[in-house]
């Protein structure tokens, strides 16, 4: 039996929203871990919830990955949503209730 497709929109019930956030946060961190192991890449995942509480995952040292990210000068893809490409300077000044930033760097 398949799962019912859900509409991607804000969950109005606060308790359901918190439960969904917790489950999906765990799933996202698990996927980040799996990707780092399977593809031998460095991953930094930063999540801020609606009350600005920080959650993070890094496959190696978070500071090293973020430093590598800030010093990276080559052209690269940046996206906020699957259909919209934006630059980092457009993203950071804007406040997002649940903002996910995923940085991937393939080891050389």
Out of 10-14, 33-37, 39-43, 98-102, which region has the weakest mean confidence (pLDDT)?
98-102
Better-predicted residue by pLDDT, 83 or 33: 33
Span 58-70, pLDDT tens digits: 999 999 999 998 9
Neighbouring-strand partners of residue 43: 104
Nearest to 18, CA basis, from 54, 51, 44? 51
Give this prediction's pTM. Answer: 0.66
Q: At residue 11, does pLDDT exceed 50?
A: yes
Residue-level pLDDT at 108: 34
* 3-state secondary structure (DSSP) of residue 31: helix
- The half-sphere exposure of 96 on its side-chain side, counting CA atoms within 13 A, is 14
- Cβ distance 22 to 79 under 8 Å? no
Q: Where are the beta strands (DSSP E) in 37-90?
A: 41-48, 54-58, 79-81, 84-85
Question: Sign (positive/negative) of CA torsion 35, 37, 40, 46?
Answer: positive
Span 83-102, pLDDT tens digits: 444 444 444 434 333 444 44
Q: At residue 55, does pLDDT exceed 60?
A: yes
Q: In the 8-state DSSP scheme, what is residue 3?
A: P
Distance CA 88, CA 43 (A): 17
Better-predicted residue by pLDDT, 50 or 94: 50
């Amino acid at each position: 039996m398949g799962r019912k497709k859900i509409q991607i929109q804000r969950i109005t019930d606060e308790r359901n929203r918190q439960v969904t956030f917790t489950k999906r946060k765990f799933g996202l961190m698990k996927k980040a871990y799996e990707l780092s192991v399977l593809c031998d890449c460095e991953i930094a995942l930063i999540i801020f919830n609606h009350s600005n509480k920080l959650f993070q995952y890094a496959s190696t040292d978070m500071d090293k990955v973020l430093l590598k990210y800030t010093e990276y000068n080559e052209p690269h893809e940046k996206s906020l949503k699957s259909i919209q490409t934006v630059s980092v300077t457009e993203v950071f000044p804007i406040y997002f209730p649940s903002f996910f930033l995923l940085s991937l760097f393939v080891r050389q």
